[in-house]
A and B are shown apart, each in its own frame.
Chain A
Amino acid sequence: MIFHHMKSNMHTLFKIITALVCLFVVGYYGYAGYHGKAFWESSTVERNTAYTGKRIYTGYGNRFNHK
């Protein structure tokens, strides 16, 4: 009997978790769409750095202040 109620409560909990996950996923997708936010950027993007000359094939020093 107790086990039956526990199982019943577990299913209610799972349903709440599912509903929250669905709401979160849809909500965050909408937020990201509105702000143009990609869940992940291209791996080579670096923000607010001076030009470092990091290269895949070669490595060279800075040529001019790009700002």
Chain B
Amino acid sequence: MATANLNSFPVPETVVCPSCAGNITLHDPAGSEFCVCPHCHTYIKFRNDVPQAVKKASLPQTKPVVAIGAQIVLQGYTFKVIAFIEKREKGTEYYWREYMLYNYEKGYANLSEFDGHWNLFFGSNFLPDLKNVDQKTQSVKFQDVVYNKFHAYLCELTAFTGEFDWDLTQDSIFTHETIAPPFIMLKEVETDNRRYGTLFYRGEYQEPAALAAAFGIHESQMPERVGIGANQPTKAYGFWQWVLKYSLYALLALMGITLFFALRKPSKTIFEKTFPIVYEPVKGQFEFKPFMTPGFEVNDQSSFLDLEITSPIDNNWLEATIVLVNEQSNATWEVTQGIEYYNGVEDGERWTEGQTTAKVLLSEIPRGRYHLNVYTASGDPLRDQLAIRVTENGILWRNLLVCVLLLTIIPAIAWLMARNVEKKRWSNSDFSPYEE
């Protein structure tokens, strides 16, 4: 068992390799029960503190980035690197590397690297809550964070060097990986229940640049990153969250502005009257006698107007050309708007089509006195009424709708980008929630 609850690292001790008589430095002499001779790579067991050769250990294929015995500080803990291990998923050729880290207060931690992606793993000696992980079939929950199943595999030890407090050559561990970037949770299940049964380890993604600084080396000496790490926090996700936040602020600002103008420039009817209309066939078929309305005031410096025409037509149509005339400047705005309304009964069911009313929007109408010239036509010569209502200000819903749509475009794009990255991440998993 690794020595813990100390105030400083134990004094290293030197032992002699029983195979080659070379000196082996032990950094946790009281805790380490196995080690590998750095000279002849003999795997050694200490029986009653006497080193005994067990077998030859395979040499790791890659050189460790940080040497055994080096001290590094990670997440506020001072560690000594005491072992370097290479493992792979059984049945594959892909290796990953693990650096066993020893802290004199807590014991072992683990720094792993695969394809240039690094994770620092803590067990329950660092995170006591790991004894109470909420397990489900496809996920686990730890400290209110849900981790989703990403991978499951049988570990195979391929090479190792350094010192250990257990016989790692006897390990037969099935690992379940669940992720919640930047975290990853390992559930290690001993297939033979030899030592501990099931244990959880929580890993956190480590940026290579930060690790290089902790190792005291240049970032270029770190293994190159390939692809997206299982629990690598991505910029796309962070960007989406950033965009979402600021777009929501902008939407709130829109609502505030809308409320402000709804109170400051409320909707007001400035003209409303029902006019008799008279069919005048001498002017042409469908034509009615034109008329001019009394004047009315547009009060705001610049406002929009809603012109609404209503006539109780029935199974017929009516069309009005209305000219808004500014009585001071003679500026005009001419609109033509038709209404039609049809109804009937077919197969015992009543149907209707169209409406007896229609609206036209006029934008940026300056303050002043106005009247309307109205030219009416209708398919119903007996039609005798046309109601006109002019409303000033209110809420320009079309503007609000356009702005809301514009403000949702960038978050939508950012979300698609983030989703694309997540799809790429999960493409390495047999448990992807994204359909292929």
- Which residues of A are interface residues toward B (Cβ below 8 A)? 1, 7-8, 11, 14-15, 17-19, 21-23, 25-26, 28-30, 32-42, 44-49, 51-58, 60, 63-64, 66-67
Contacts and interface: CB of A to CB of B under 8 A. Distances in A.
A28 B391 CA distance: 23
B239 A64 contact: no
B53 interface: no
Contacts of B258: 33
Interface stretch (B75-83, B183-191, B241-249): B241-249
Main secondary structure of the interface of B (DSSP, over half): mixed
Contact of B330 (A34, A40, A51, A67): A67
A63 B239 contact: no
B336 A55 contact: yes
A43 B243 CA distance: 35
15 contacts: A14-B414, A22-B249, A28-B403, A36-B396, A37-B302, A37-B363, A39-B399, A42-B362, A47-B334, A48-B333, A56-B319, A58-B285, A58-B287, A64-B290, A66-B323
A67 B332 contact: yes
Interface string B387-422: 000000100101110110011001000100000000
B334 A45 contact: yes
A18 B250 CA distance: 11
Contacts of A60: 283-284, 287, 377
B59 interface: no
Contact of A66 (B284, B304, B325): B325
A21 B407 CA distance: 8
Interface in B319-337: 319, 321, 323, 325, 330-337
Contacts of A37: 302, 304, 363-364, 399
Contacts of A40: 398
A56 B336 contact: yes
Given A19-B246, A48-B331, A58 B396 contact: no
Nearest to B305: A36
B360 interface: yes
B391 to A, nearest CB: 12
Given A18-B410, A44-B360, A36 B373 contact: no
A38 B396 CA distance: 7
Nearest to B361: A42
Nearest to A28: B403
Contact of B336 (A23, A25, A54, A64): A54
B164 to A, nearest CB: 35
